[in-house]
Structure 1
Amino acid sequence: MELLEQILSNQNMNEAYVRVYKNKGASGVDGVTV
């Protein structure tokens, strides 16, 4: 599986969404909020 396919997989995108939802879109080290 190519790297881009892994990054854009449904499982990975869902895990990323859950992380953002749990931290309420708070900014990270770059100071950018979602």
Structure 2
Amino acid sequence: MVDPDDVQFIDEMPHTATGKIQKTALRDMFADYAFPA
């Protein structure tokens, strides 16, 4: 099993009207995120 490089916690997950997680919104939120060196 592989450990993750980093873990980020957010207050709320973006959802669609049907309750599915909006993966594109998550990608947009973390587009400029840089992993710690």
Q: Same fold by TM-score, threshold 0.5 exceeded?
A: no
Greater Cα radius of gyration, structure 1 or 2? 2
TM-score normalized by structure 2? Answer: 0.29
